[in-house]
Amino acid sequence: MRNESEIIKILQSILYPKLEKNIVELKIIDSLHVEKDLLKITLDTNNKEAFTFIETQIKKKLNTFFSKISIEQKQKNTSKSLSYGSTKNPNNRAPYAKKIIAVSSGKGGVGKSTLSVNLAVGLAQEGFKVGLLDADVYGPNVPRLLGIENEKLSWNEENKIIPHENFGIKIMSVGFTTPTFDTPLVWRSSVAISALVQFLEDVAWGELDFLVIDMPPGTGDVQLSMAEELPLSGAIIVTTPQSLSIDDVSRAIMMFKETHVKILGVVENMSFFEAPDTHKVYEIFGQSRLESLCRTYTLKPLGKIPLAIEIRELSDAGRIPVAFSKHKNIYKEICKKVVEEA
């Protein structure tokens, strides 16, 4: 085989890892040269795992036609940082966003994603241009909370991923990349971080006043990498009154302090339950710990959100509580404080 068009046709059968687009469509092939029995290809990708996968697939499909196949990565312009920054001097993978806010917790199941979604929509209601990045790659709940769980990825003419939009905000989530809602993402942390960097750089976000990032639980690689790759305006900590939650959240607080990220304040979710018939208040997860936690770490309390059936029902139905709930003013007040602190 010596015809370049025939080679390109074969390369169109190779899909980029985790995406439903081939490497020709995505313009991964930077250059292609044939010299007798030698084929030289340069790939334009920064992802090492993706490069290795594509290299293997190319050789598998073309090694019967050439005695030697040379595949290299394109050398990027050093004016754009390709190495990780540091938490003291982070890169800026999102120069299009004026302010970047991370919503985090040390523990799963405390309502972090629900707060992220309501914060983003609440800010949009105030007239801000807002993007929401679902960085919880192993448990992406943002699509369902916004009623767009069945959406998939699409690209514009510049081969940028088009973010989905609902409630006046732009949304990107790894949940849009999976064939079904229950498909697990069995990724090593390096692959997850590469995907998030791509979502920061290769999505057509447009100009944003706020980029809200729904972080995964814990204090691991994703949290550290976001602090290294973004000039975070601040972090919001989400907890419940339960002692187990306070223990884990305390670690998250110290992580942000040690990585030089400003903490805008703390939100206590599921703070209390008010019986709809008697209006008696029950502290299901224990007495509120918000004020004592904030005193311990010299932080500002942003608000207490009740454990309410209505909030759960609206969230499950993709109807944002900040827009539809009788408790909407609680979220609006949190948004107001965040704008003041960020």
Q: Is residue 82 part of a domain?
A: no
What does the alpha-carbon distance between residue 175 and residue 152 come to, in Å, rounded to a whole number? 8
Q: Is residue 83 part of a domain?
A: no
How large is the average pLDDT for residues 173-200? 85
The four Cα atoms 299, 135, 154, 229 give a dihedral, to 10 degrees, of 80
- pLDDT tens digits along 200-229: 999 999 999 999 999 988 888 889 899 999
CA angle (229, 232, 234) in 5-degree steps: 150
- Supply the CATH number for residue 143's domain: 3.40.50.300
- Same domain assignment for residues 11 and 107: no
pTM greater than 0.85: no
- Tell me which residue range forms the domain holding 34: 4-73
Q: Which amino acid is at 166?
A: N
Q: Which of 125, 87, 124, 108 is nearest to 238 (CA)?
A: 108
DSSP letter string over 11-23?
Answer: HTTPBPTTSSSBT
Residues of the chain above pLDDT 90, percent:
63
Q: Is residue 248 part of a domain?
A: yes
- pLDDT tens digits along 2-60: 678 889 999 999 998 767 788 988 888 989 988 888 899 999 887 777 888 999 999 99
The pair of structure tokens assigned to 160 is: 């940028």
- Same domain assignment for residues 30 and 142: no
Q: What is the pLDDT of residue 84?
A: 67
Q: What is the pLDDT of residue 79?
A: 43
- pLDDT tens digits along 262-309: 999 999 999 999 998 999 999 999 999 999 999 999 999 999 999 999
- Same domain assignment for residues 316 and 167: yes
- Same domain assignment for residues 173 and 37: no
Asked if 230 and 90 count as a contact pair (C-beta separation under 8 A), the reply is: yes
- Same domain assignment for residues 173 and 35: no
- Same domain assignment for residues 130 and 61: no
If one counts the domains in the chain, the total is 2
